[in-house]
Structure 1
Amino acid sequence: MDAKFFDSLYEGDSPNGVKLGMGLTGGDFWPRAAGCSVLYRGPGMEQIDFANLLSVAEAGASEISPPGYVTNNSGTIYFYVIRRANNCGCEEQTLAAAVKISIDAGGELAEPQPNSIFEARAEQVEGNKIQLVWYYCPIEQQSSPVCFNLYYDAGTGQIDYENAIATISYAGRRFYSYQSGTLDAGKYLFAIRAEDAGGMENASSARIEIQLDTTSPDAIEILSVEAA
């Protein structure tokens, strides 16, 4: 039996011991001859709290739920992991059975959506145009994107999220780019959001800001050189 399951000090009556039924053996011996499935939670895949069991179900159970007293804070993300323990109380060391959930501002379970983009940058290119470059990684995504919607503020300072200026098809984990048409001088704001097949768009509020300078550099004065 794994050391973390021993519950001799509390004779099986600790929160973990009660969930496992350790009181039947006084906390000294593993009581589940058929093994079991254990549910854990954390704010990130590297921050799962494997010391505290949320719920315990039979090894072959098709579902498992957190207890009613576990709260979900608004606007947060949680990762749940299920691990099985065998008939000897030895738990598998894997993250294979993991799920990511998002809680919306109202405290309800948010609809699955693609990940946010990252490594986004903007630069001015020839012809008074702006080029955007970004990267998408599908690891731990809730749903797979089919495209990226690009929005901008047209120089007003307020991004128009109702009318996309371009749509770029998703083609896997890689860098993507977009080049605008000719723009006037000024500051521009852009936003890029991934959208899945169901029309659910990532709700990231990240913005890309760039100052476009349309002034030409000063002319270079050519000096003549004569041999002495």
Structure 2
Amino acid sequence: MRQQDMKSLTDSLNSAVSTLTSKLNDTVKTQDQKQTETERSLDSLKSSIQSDQQSKQRDFESLSRSLSVLKSSVSDLTSSVASLSSKQQISEERVMNALKELKSNMKYKKADVPVTCKSAWILYKSSCFLFSNNKLNWAEARDYCKAQGALLLKIEEDEEEWEFLNNHTIPEHYWVGLTDQNTGQWRWADDTPYTMNKERWAPGQPDDWEGHGLGEKGEDGEDCGQFIFTGKLNDNHCSSKMRFICRV
């Protein structure tokens, strides 16, 4: 091979090597840039994740503090309600005790006031009683007592009073101020409710018996209360005429 050709080949090879080297350097440089950018992206992502975690941690801590404050508030509110309920109960008890004391004082004051009864009326404790000799039906007896400023007998649930009444009624029959004529429920003549006590009634009474033939159809039952000869209560037809008891 000629020297000139050898030189030309050498130059070509050098040029090719130079070109390859340049391309290789460019490729390495490009890869380094990409690696650098990747590392920066990873660092940025890592920083973002850390920042997000820190933000969530702060939010969690803030929520925990809020829940703690809320729990404390609920506990305080529960304690306040319990305290208020206790105070209310104490207040109600004080009011009830005060009312009982007032009622007791009024009872004693009433008992201390001298009571004067009209002629033929009998004094018992702080009340005056009239045990009539004349006989009227229940409505007439009620109206008669009312005209006297009294009530057809309203009885207290008191053993001593029952004994007093029995001593003045046995063995006669007397109207008392009990009726279920208008409401179907036993009430006193002043329209206050009556609490049934079967021990005060004769056996099997009240029975609203209709066999006596008194009254019109639909009004045959027994709707008015009386004392019978045993001192017990019984229901009778309101049109029956008998003695009666007034109380004032």
TM-score normalised to structure 1 length: 0.22
Q: TM-score, normalised by structure 2?
A: 0.20
More strand by share: 1
Larger radius of gyration: 2
Question: Going by fraction, where is helix more abundant, 1 or 2?
Answer: 2
